[in-house]
Amino acid sequence: MTNHFIDWYKIYLKCYDSYKITHNIDLSKFKFIDPVIIVLLFKDLITLNNSAIKCGVNVKNYLNFLIKNYNIINGSFNNYIPVVTVSKANVDILTSQMSKIVMSKININSSNLNIKLNYIFGELMENIIQHSRSKHNYILSQYYNKLGLELTFYDDGIGIPGSLKVIKNNTKECDYIFDAINGLSSKMEPGLINERGTALPSINKMVKSYSNNEFIIISGSGIYSYSNGNEQVIPLNKKYRLNGTLISILFKDINKFDAMDIYKYV
């Protein structure tokens, strides 16, 4: 079975290798590109000339739309929040906007679902603001009628290994990600300012409550992936080391997620 996020991350790595040689971002083979690709490349997408981005008409129009609407929160967007940089000033409105989009698409009015989505969305944004020490961050949330709800967050900060190395010495950076989703936090060390929040274990359990959901965390030289009911930790080649943290969640059946009891996991 395919792994949605791993498949797209492999495509990103091919773009990364090609970009170093040609100085072009080549997406010409694709009629669709996932938010994972967009947030990782967005800093380059908004600075490169159009001629340096190779892609078909549909992808080109989509990218141009996202670039044009970068950081526009209150637009009349039907099924997504375009790329936005998170700040203390916009967390509440972003969370509210995301909930409205989901509710309009699934045609239910569930305070239960609102609480869960607000918790996940809010906690991951707060992690970026409070703990990442990033210069750049990008989020993109989109609802697909066939695929489901995808939430994607990226920051170029110190990453999970950078946060946890102060309290534990792991040989492999990928092990820090596994530690983080199992409850290890630099909040355990009094007085530290580079702490990563403690919400990841709860969010991981919520995602894993249904096996068709998917979840990926990439930070430093490691990947944590949950897909098709299986989780794995994958070491990355050092040349592909990611500065900061990428987190992406795919809820394939939002109605099942609506029925889940959040208080079992938080």
Domain 4-264, CATH homologous superfamily name and number: Histidine kinase-like ATPase, C-terminal domain (3.30.565.10)
pLDDT tens digits, 44-96:
898 888 788 999 999 999 999 999 999 988 767 777 888 999 998 888 888 88
Question: In which region does residue 25 sit, left (phi positive, over 0), alpha (psi from -120 to 50) or beta (all else)?
Answer: beta
**In this structure, how many other beta carbons lie within 10 angstroms of the beta carbon of residue 81?**
23
* Per-residue pLDDT reduced to its tens digit, 176-193: 998 899 877 655 544 443
Angle between helices 91-106 and 111-131 (to 10 degrees): 150
* pLDDT confidence of residue 227: 92
Residue pLDDT, tens place only, 107-136: 656 677 778 888 898 899 988 988 888 999
State the SS3 of 94-140: HHHHHHHHHHHHHCCCCHHHHHHHHHHHHHHHHHHHHHCCCCCEEEE
Separation of CA 174 from chain center = 17
Percent of the chain past pLDDT 70, that is, above it, reads 90
CB atoms within 10 A of CB 183: 12
Q: Which of 40, 39, 18, 45 is nearest to 29 (CA)?
A: 18
Cβ 112 vs Cβ 119: under 8 Å: no
What average pLDDT does this structure show over 195-220? 83
Q: Where are the domains of the chain?
A: 4-264
Contact (CB, 8 A) for 58 and 30? no
Question: Is residue 167 within 8 Å of 53, Cβ to Cβ?
Answer: no
Tokens (6 digits) for 262: 């959040």
